[in-house]
Each structure stands twice: as structure tokens, then as C-alpha cells.
Amino acid sequence: MTTRNNIIGKIDWWLLAMYCALVVIGVSAIYAAAFNEAHPSLFDLSQHYGKQFLFAGVSVFLGLLILLIDAKFFNTFAYVIYGFSILLLLYVLVGGSTIAGSKSWIQFGGFSFQPSEFAKFGTALALAHYLGGVNTDFSKMKTQAIAYGLVLFPMMLVLMQGDAGSSLVFLVFILVFYREGMSGKILIIGFVAIVLFLLTLYFSKWYVLIGVAVVSVAIVFLIERTKKNILKLIAVFAVSAVFIFSVDFFFYDILKQHQRTRINIILGIEKDIYGVGYNLHQSKIAIGSGGFAGKGYLQGTMTKYNFVPEQHTDFIFCTIGEEFGFIGSFVLLSLYLALLIRIIFLAERQRSPFSRIYGYAIASIIFFHLMVNIGMTIGLLPVIGIPLPFLSYGGSSLLMFSLMFFVFLKQDANRMNIL
Amino acid sequence: MIKNRANFSSRKYVVIAIFSVVVLVLLIKLFMIQVVDQSYKHSSDNNTLRYITQYPARGKVYDRNGRLMVYNEAIYDLMVIPRQVKNLDTLDFCSSLDITREFFQERMAKARRYSTFSPSVFLAQITKEEYGKIAENLHKYPGFYFQTRSVRNYPYPVAAHTLGNIGEVSKKDLEKDSYYKTGDYIGKSGVEYFYEKELRGDKGLKIIVVDVHNREKESFMDGQFDTLPVAGKDIYLGLDAELQLYGERLLKDKTGSIVAIEPSTGQILAMVSSPAYDPNELVGRVRGENYKKLLNDSLKPLVNRATSGIYPPGSTFKMINGLIVLQSGVVTPKSAFPCYGKESQPIRCTHSHNSPVALYEAIENSCNPYFWETFREMFASSRFSSSKEAYSYWYDMVVSFGLGSTFKTDIPSELAGNIPKSSYYEKLYRGSWNALTIRSLSIGQGEILVTPLQLANMAAAIGNEGFYYPPHLIKSFSDDTPIDSALTTKRIIDIKPKHFKDVKIGMCRVFEGEHGTARMSQIDSIQVAGKTGTAENPHGDDHSLFMGFAPADNPQIAIAVVVENAGFGSQWAAPIASLMIEKYLRGYIKNTNKEKRFLE
């Protein structure tokens, strides 16, 4: 096969351009956030930006490699990669290193690597392979159970590492299931559950229960009052009540104090600008101080004086918010949204269900990271330490997102060869 | 490949809608904080936030009558944030602060080592006058600003050992308690140290927007994130400031100490250690220099002799022995023993009086042979099978007066003194010892060592006829926080009150009897019970001791006085105690001739 010419001609250059733009923005932002006057060179490997620049180079090299190997490789070895990622997760539970409170790292040489990042990739492949299989029918209960199992298993393992933030990412596969035929009701139930969850934390469980009861009674007057409908409503109410009490139990008896505190700070229940709330408080000031047009590149004072801890990693968006203002934030978010929509459209034009499902999976993962990461820096969501895709400092994060991205790019470029 | 399955491809619009709505929500929130909400704004002219610690007012200290003993006075610390120091005219800066270039560089280096972007104290404790001079030029020195602080001030220049002082936190303090930051003040000794947590209060924080010219512009977000400091609690001590002052005057130019206790509560009324110093000397920038001077003084003014001076109790200890032999049942107040004066064996008598003597006369005359004989009788008694057993009985009684150990209350730098255990003698004499071997104990000499505080407490316990409250400084807090219940828990001595009554009669005769060793120190219309002591001192002249209480039947003050190397107790310690008692009970001295020789 004359792979080379074929590939270059068929690559979606728009998608690749967006990827490159995000990586360049990321390295520049890290340069601004971690800037050290004593080492102004971007290529200084002793500095965060030097390292990130190196990681970016490695990522591009990795991308080229993926573009050159056979497209069927990832479909064929999907379960092997999934199995390997599960093994890594199990290994971490036994021999992992603890960084920032969660035992989720493997260290070799000078680098540390988070297998949970790799597990997202593995799960996306396995799910795409399974649901895209010739004899798989998602309308069957058994199929659904297996598909959910593929996601829940790594999710539980990540949760056991004490990394609740990363384990939440797996929930986003619900969008993939929805696309493949899962009932829309589950999406709605999920949404209602989140609302009830938040309300239960804000108010006493008894108030929420009374609220649900009032809404239920109101619905009785709106719908046709058949026996069946009434019974259904009572069932819904009962399930809600059980849910509310479980949340209460979960929040006060299962969550750890620092997780509880983070959620409480977001909800405004606790105010603690020196402890956990410090990051959030500083991050909001940095972003807010950027104003409409920003302070200009390398001119952000909050950024330069290290007012925001972890700024080069999970709080990298602060730098963009402060130095480029609302315009910069708008451009960046638009870029992400364009990338997501592009992936969805490309996914839909795939002939192979594997490629389509895989495309949805990575779009969902990028979406979830984007939502939670930016949501936390501006105080919409709890401080959950997950990176901003392609931007945050960190080798394993950038490499994994690049890997996921290039595998999709390759699948898309190869779409005509299917059949 | 394409199978006959329900086609859900239109669901892509739902997924895209979800993506778009979430991004829209994020953008709206960003628009709110970046464009709409002006409070996050300090435009793009390099504004920064300055976090200013709002120091709470440290609690004040009052005496038992509400007289102010310690309060705060404003001073200023010059702070520096090294990152923000730009284009500094060092020469001009140094000359306006009156510091050398080397000093400047040393302080800057220290500040940089701590942190380049957090404030450090550059120059501490600048007075109001100096502050005025520098403040008007401050705009020339970006990165520097003033922080108001307070130092302690003592209207009564007394009780330095008791009140203690504050100083900059040490590295250890910083590690132990995250409340403190470099340059903060912490109680270093005395009441300031012990009640640090109550006195310090809670810090507040003010966030101020500062422009590039080092000018403070406004409160950040209308002070939404500011916290107010909470002032420390005020403390009322049991101390009587006037009595303390009087005591320090009486002991001026002497070495020694006075401890006065209120027997009904255990509160310290006065605690004098001489030579003393003015607590104001250890305040502000002169602290270091003065501290060094005091530290190197050969008379050791920094040592609190009242709690860490240890002395043989001498004859004052005979009260304890008298009580123990009465309680043991071996002797009664009527039991009389012969005294051969200077010919007495094995301990001679230093006073001339009738013979034989019973308890009252023995105390009045401080008769050594009587106390030796009764001590010997007890050891010889059939009650005890061995010297060791008798000694253990005696030992338990002695330590129940609080001797031989510290009280562990809020009183600083206590020493335990020494009451040897029987095992000590077992070892020293290899198991072969008896009353004769340890005869010095019968007259309060030998290995026994007590502090003036313990001696005063002993007086309080005798005055109370068998119990005492552990001596302590605090009376109450300004709010209604209760004081430690251990301080108000009675400690009971296992000796019958009637024995105390008999000993008290003897102690009154020390003042009233015709041979009484303190008859010269009687006070008109106040009945004092007490005992003088002359403690042999292997290092020099004898120490002059006194312990007692008044009024004898309902004691309101128990007192111990030690004057080092001054000779007889009757000459120095007893008259000083008598003046203190009169001053406290009457408020003034009726016969001013008595105080003349001390106050000149």
C-alpha cells in the first residue's frame, strides 16, 4: 500500500491545526506561568516550560508514528491495550507512589506517570471495539451490562487509588452510550440526580425531600390521573427519597474531609481563603483581573508572582484568563468547542462503528476535562485536580491526549479503506 | 458492515448541544468575572494585592484590685517585599532610616531567604517619632510599607519575673504552631508565656490593592475577604500591685525573696525576687542589649529566686516536724523534754530558756534539743518496725505540704527543692542508719531544700489548719472563661486540725512570748503567727528566713521571706514579713519608724 501519500492527502488538516494551536497555547502559557528570569530560554530543560516543550516534541513524534502504522492495529489490539491498562491500575494499587494524596503514580527514571490517564484511552478502545463488533446489539440488556462493566471496572480501580477526580471522568462515557442507543431517559435521570445531589448539600435533606414531595403533588395535577401514572409517580418519589438519603450518607460518611471541604467551598457553604479555598480565591482574582482584553503576554502580575499555586498544571487557565482577558478565554473555549464539534462530525462520517464510537469517546473525555477544569478555576465546580487537555503541564497528560487524538486522526484518514 | 440497526445518528445534535451549552455557561461565568464584576479589577497597571496581618490587641494584665499592670503601646514595623523593591536609592534609604549599608544588605538577604514575594520585617519596632520621619518619604521606596504593632508597657515597674516578657518567635515556635509568622511576638516567660494562647487573641487579615507606585489604593473587593482581629483576653492576677511594689522596695539592695499567698484561695499576693529589674527594660529595640546586661550580672537578676532559689528551711521546718510527731501520737503538746542549752547532745540549743520544755515553749524559743528529742522518740516508737518505716511515714507527711516537688501551676520556673527518699539514705549508709544519722533533718538542716514559694505555701497550709490550694498567679479572665480547675482543687494534709491549733499557739508565742524570736516584729492589733529561721549556708553567711501568716485565727495572708547571707531570721526576715503583713492588712504602716531602715 502507498500509505504515505494516501495518508497525507486524507488527514483532516483542520483538526490537526486545532490540535497544534492548543499545544502551542499550552507551552506559551506554561512559559508565562513558570517563567524564571534566571532561565529565560524556552529550551531550558531545568524549567517546566523546557520540559513541556520537550513533551510537545515527543507528542508530535508519537503522532507521526501512529499515522504510519496500520489503522487496524488499534481495533485489533483494543482488548490487549485495555487489559494492559487494567494491569497498570492494579499494579498502582500495590506498588504505586503517592503524590498529592492519591496513590496513582508509577515512577520510572525522573518521570512519573499516571496509569489512570492511560486507562481512559484503553477504555475508549475497548468500548469502541466491543460496541462496534459485528454481532453486538446495544438494545440487548446483556450488551449494555457488559458495556457498562467495561467502564465501571477501571473507574472503581481509579477510585480505589484515592483519585476521585480522575474516576469521575469515566462517567462521561454515558454520552457514548447515549449515541449508541441508550435511552435518553437515563441522561435526564442523571441530570436530575446531579441537581438533587447539589440541593441536598445546600439544604437539609428534609427540605429537599419536602421539595420533591411538593413537585410530585404538583405533577399529579398536571398529568392524567390514572392509577398507573400515580403509581409511577410514587415510585419516582420513593427512589428520589432513597437517593437523597444516600447522598447525605455518602457525603458525611464516605467522602473524605478534604473532598467535603472542596465541595462545600464551591457551594459557598464554607469560606476558607487560606486553606483549600486559597487556590480558588487566587485563581478567580487572576482570571477576573484580566478584564476584557487582558494584561498582555508575560504581564500578568498574579501569574508572575506565583499567587496561584499549581498554576502551570491544573490552574493553567488562570494565565490565559489574566494575560489575554475575556477575549483570550473566548477564543480558547471556542477553539475547544470547534475541536469537539469537528470530532463529532468526523466520527459521524466513519463507516466503521469502531471509529465512530472511538471518536465519541475521545470527544467526551476532552469535553469532561474541559468542563471540570475551567469550571473549577472560575468557581463553578469543585476543585478537582484534572488537567486541561493539551494545555496543562505534565508529560503523561499531554502524551495521552496526543495519543488519543492521533489514533482518531489516523482512523479518520483511513476511513475510505474500510469495506 | 453496515447493519440493520436503529440509526441514532441524529443524536449527534443532542451531544453537540450539550457541549455548546456547557461552553456557553463557562463563557457567561467568565464574562461575569472578567467584564461585569469590577471588583476583581485592578486594571492592567501592575496592581498587586498586599495581605496585611491585622494584629489583635494583646490582652492586658491587671492586679487583684483592677490596677493596670501591663498594656499595649503602638509602634511600627517596617516591612519589605523583596520582589517589589525596584530602583531603590540605597544611600538615601539608609540615611533616612539611620542604618548602615551592611545592615541594609544583611536584612535584605534575610528577607529574600525567607521569601521574595511575601513580606518580612525589615526593621522592627520603630517609635512614633521615627515613623513620622520615614512615612512621608515612603513613596520613594517601593516594596516597603509599615505595619502597626504594639509593645508591652508596664505602669508599675515591678514583678518582672512574674509578668515575663514577649519577644520574636523562634524557629521552634514557628514549627510548633502555624499561627505564628516570622517576626511575630510570643510570650517568652512568666504570665506572658503561660497564658500566651489567651492573651494573643486571633489575627485578622486585610487585603489591600497596591499600585505600582507602592501606594495603597483600596480595600480589595470591599473587604469581602478581610477578617477582623479578635483581641486577646485580659487577665486579672491574684497579685496586689501595691504590695508587690512595697516588697520590692523593702528588698532593694538585698538578695532574697518574698512570697505572699492568700491562704483561702492559693492566689499569689506578691512574689518578689531581689535583685529585680524594671520589666520596661526588656521592651522594644533595647531589649537585646538590656537582656545581655542582665544575663551577665553576677547577682543574677534574671533568676526568679522566689521559685528557683533553694534554701535549707532551718528552724521554720520545725513546725512540720512538730506536727508530724503530734500526729504520730508519740508526743502530746504536754510532753516535755530537757534542754541543756549549749551542752545539749547531739544538737546544742542556741537560745537560753527554762528546762524542760514542751511544744509551745519549744517553738517560742526555737529549741533544737526539743525537736531532736521528739524526732528521735518517733523513730524509736514501737509503731514502726524500722528506721526506714518511720522515715517513710515522716516523708509522706512532709511531701503532702507540697515540699520536694513543683506545684505545676501557672508559676514560672519552679524548682522542686529536695526532700530525700529513704532509698537515698539506704544507699548512702548501706542500710545501716537511724534517727541519729539523719538528725539534722529534725531542725530543718541537712539535705532538705525548699523554695520561698514552698515555704509560703507551708505557712498557708498551717494557717488553714490542714489544707492548701496550689499556689497560682491567675485570679480570673476578663470574659467568663473559668480558670483551670486544678488551681481551685483543695489539697488536704493528713494531720488533725487540733495539732495545727497547738502548733499555731506556739507560733503566736514567737511574736508574743517574752522569749519569742520575733517579738520585736509584733504589729499593733494584728495577731501574727510565724517562725523565724536561720539557715546554715555552706557557701557563706547564714540566710535569714521567716514564714508565717496573719491574722492567726483567720489568716488572710501567708508569707515567706528569705534574705540571703543576712544572719538571724529575727533580724531581717521577720521584720520584713511583719511590714508586708501590716501593709496588706491595714494598707499602711502605723509606726513608720519600723520601715525606715529598709526604705532609706
CB spacing of A289 vs B40 below 8 angstroms: yes
pLDDT computed for residue B211 by the predictor: 59
Q: Which cell is A29 given?
A: 502559557
pLDDT computed for residue B514 by the predictor: 85
Chain B interface residues (partner A, CB cutoff 8 A): 1-3, 5-6, 8-9, 11-12, 14-16, 18-20, 22-23, 25-27, 29-31, 33-35, 37, 39-44, 46-49, 83, 117, 225
Residues of B in contact with A344 (CB under 8 A): 12, 15-16, 19
CB spacing of A344 vs B16 below 8 angstroms: yes
Kindly state the DSSP code that residue A37 receives in the 8-state scheme: T
Residues of B in contact with A134 (CB under 8 A): 3
Helix (H) or strand (E) holding B53: strand B48-54
Residues B44/A302, Cβ–Cβ less than 8 Å: no
Residues A290/A325, Cβ–Cβ less than 8 Å: yes
pLDDT range class, residue A371, cuts 50, 70, 90 = very high
Query: DSSP characters for B196-218?
Result: HHHHH-B-EEEEEEE-TTS-EEE
Indicate whether A402 pLDDT > 90: yes
Q: Is residue A181 part of a domain?
A: no
pLDDT computed for residue A50 by the predictor: 82
Chain A 215-244, residues with CB within 8 Å of chain B CB atoms: none
Residues B544/B534, Cβ–Cβ less than 8 Å: yes
Q: Is residue A260 part of a domain?
A: no
Q: Is residue A44 part of a domain?
A: yes
Q: Which cell is A130 given?
A: 466491543
> Are both A171 and A103 inside the same structural domain?
yes
Q: Domain B241-277+304-599 - what CATH class?
A: alpha beta
User: Considering all CA atoms of chain A, what is the largest pairwise distance in Å, rounded to the nearest integer?
Assistant: 77
Query: Between vectors from CA B481 to CA B479 and to CA B483, what angle results, nearest 5°?
Result: 125
Q: Which cell is B347 given?
A: 544538737
Task: Give strand pairing partners of B77.
Answer: B147
Q: Which cell is A272 given?
A: 476558607
Kindly state the DSSP code that residue A295 receives in the 8-state scheme: S
Distance CA A195, CA A176 (A): 22
pLDDT tens digits for range A58-104: 999 999 999 988 888 998 999 999 999 999 999 888 877 666 556 67
CB spacing of A180 vs B8 below 8 angstroms: yes
Task: Give strand pairing partners of B186.
Answer: B167
Please give the C-alpha separations between residue A224 and each of A229, A230, A241, A316, in angstroms, as whole numbers: 7, 9, 23, 53
pLDDT tens digits for range A293-312: 887 777 766 665 555 656 67
CB spacing of A329 vs B27 below 8 angstroms: yes
Residue ending a domain, choose from A199, A232, A255: A255
Residues A410/A67, Cβ–Cβ less than 8 Å: yes
Task: Give strand pairing partners of B382.
Answer: none
Nearby residues of B188 by Cβ (< 8 Å), 6 or more positions away: B164, B165, B166, B167
A297 interface with B at CB cutoff 8 Å: no
Please give the C-alpha separations between residue B470 and each of B411, B465, B485, in angstroms, as whole numbers: 10, 15, 11
Q: Which cell is B203 given?
A: 489575627
Kindly state the DSSP code that residue A223 receives in the 8-state scheme: S
| Burial class of residue B554 in the structure, from the number of CB atoms within 10 Å of its CB (0-12 exposed, 13-18 middle, 19+ buried) | exposed
Nearest to A236 by CA among A184, A198, A204, A196: A196
> Are both A170 and A116 inside the same structural domain?
yes
Number of H helices, E strands in chain B: 20, 18
Kindly give the pairing relationship between strand B61-62 and strand B235-237. Answer: parallel
Residues B507/B548, Cβ–Cβ less than 8 Å: yes
B196/chain A closest Cα distance in angstroms:
23
Residues B527/B551, Cβ–Cβ less than 8 Å: yes
Chain A 186-215, residues with CB within 8 Å of chain B CB atoms: none
Task: Estimate to the nearest angstrom the gap between the alpha carbon of B154 and the chain centroid.
Answer: 15
Residues of chain B below pLDDT 70: 1-6, 39-49, 117, 210-217, 221-222, 224
At A174, give phi and psi (nearest 5°).
-55, -30
> Are both A54 and A122 inside the same structural domain?
no
Helix ranges restricted to H, B1-145: 11-31, 90-97, 101-114, 128-135
Q: Which cell is B576 given?
A: 520584713
Distance CA B438, CA B282 (A): 46
**Where are any strands of DSSP class E within B249-304?**
256-261, 268-274
Query: DSSP characters for B139-159?
Result: GGSTTEEEEEEEEEE-SS---
Nearby residues of B26 by Cβ (< 8 Å), 6 or more positions away: A333, A371, A374, A375, A378, A380
Residues of B in contact with A289 (CB under 8 A): 40-42, 47
Please give the C-alpha separations between residue B188 and each of A108, B191, B270, B394, B412, in angstroms, as whole numbers: 49, 9, 21, 39, 11
Helix (H) or strand (E) holding A358: helix A353-377
Please give the C-alpha separations between residue B1 and each of A136, B264, B311, in angstroms, as whole numbers: 12, 101, 105
> Strand, coil or helix: what is B88?
coil
| Burial class of residue B583 in the structure, from the number of CB atoms within 10 Å of its CB (0-12 exposed, 13-18 middle, 19+ buried) | buried
Distance CA A150, CA B52 (A): 53
Distance CA B91, CA B354 (A): 86
pLDDT tens digits for range B445-484: 888 999 999 999 999 999 999 999 999 999 999 888 888 8
CB spacing of B34 vs A326 below 8 angstroms: yes
Residue ending a domain, choose from A176, A210, A232: A176
> Are both A290 and A360 inside the same structural domain?
yes
Distance CA B400, CA B265 (A): 18
Q: Is residue A74 part of a domain?
A: no
> Are both A384 and A288 inside the same structural domain?
yes
Sheet holding B529-535, edge to edge: B268-274, B256-261, B557-563, B543-550, B529-535
Say how many residues make up chain A.
Answer: 419
Q: Which of B6, B30, B42 is nearest residue A329 as measured by Cβ atoms?
A: B30
> Are both A48 and A85 inside the same structural domain?
no
Q: Which residue has better confidence, B338 or A382?
A: B338
| Burial class of residue B2 in the structure, from the number of CB atoms within 10 Å of its CB (0-12 exposed, 13-18 middle, 19+ buried) | exposed
pLDDT computed for residue A297 by the predictor: 79
Q: What is the total count of domains within chain A?
A: 3
Residues A346/A415, Cβ–Cβ less than 8 Å: no
CB pairs under 8 A between A and B: 117
Indicate whether A42 pLDDT > 80: no
Contacts 24+ apart (CB under 8 A), A262-271: A262/A382, A262/A383, A262/A384, A263/A201, A263/A382, A264/A201, A265/A382, A265/A383, A266/A376, A266/A379, A266/A380, A266/A381, A266/A382, A266/A383, A267/A198, A267/A201, A267/A202, A269/A201, A269/A202
Domain extent listing, chain B: 49-237, 241-277+304-599
Distance CA B493, CA B446 (A): 24
> Strand, coil or helix: what is A410?
helix
pLDDT computed for residue A3 by the predictor: 47
Distance CA B178, CA A383 (A): 24
The average confidence (pLDDT) of chain A is: 83
CATH 3.90.1310.10 fits B49-237, yes or no: yes
Q: Which of B26, B29, B44 is nearest residue A291 as measured by Cβ atoms?
A: B44
> Strand, coil or helix: what is B78?
strand
Distance CA B455, CA B67 (A): 27
Q: Is the peptide bond before B551 cis (omega within 30 degrees of 0)?
A: yes
Domain of residue A389: give its range: 1-69+268-419
**What is this model's ipTM?**
0.87
pLDDT computed for residue B131 by the predictor: 84
Q: Average of pLDDT values for A237-261?
A: 81
Nearest to B318 by CA among B436, B414, B462: B462
pTM for the model: 0.59
| Burial class of residue A18 in the structure, from the number of CB atoms within 10 Å of its CB (0-12 exposed, 13-18 middle, 19+ buried) | buried
CB spacing of B30 vs A348 below 8 angstroms: no
CB spacing of B14 vs A330 below 8 angstroms: no
> Are both A35 and A97 inside the same structural domain?
no
Task: Estimate to the nearest angstrom the gap between the alpha carbon of B250 and the chain centroid.
Answer: 21
